[in-house]
Amino acid sequence: MTCCPTRPTDPRIALGAVALVAAVTWLQTKIDLHLRRTEGRTDYDLRIGKQATDPTTVHTLADLAARH
């Protein structure tokens, strides 16, 4: 016996949740590219970083996914 009724998960909702999380992740990604040209030689510095997602945002996304 379970305490809570369950309902089947709609695959479109799961796909939407994955797409939303991917969008949030991509929008928080920071890319820095620095090019230097010295004496006919090109040097570059590439940095890719990501800031942590605000816990409130994660909680809100989880609530939205759970409700639908």
Average pLDDT value for residue range 53-65: 75
Q: How far apart are CA 65 and CA 68, in angstroms?
A: 6
* Torsion angle (degrees, nearest 10) of CA 19, 22, 24, 28: -160
> Does residue 4 have a pLDDT over 60?
no
CA diameter of the chain: 75
* Amino acid, single-letter form, for residue 27: L
Predicted pLDDT at 25: 74
* Residues 11-57 pLDDT 10s: 777 777 778 777 877 777 888 889 899 898 999 898 888 777 777 87
**Cα separation, 18 vs 57, whole angstroms:** 14
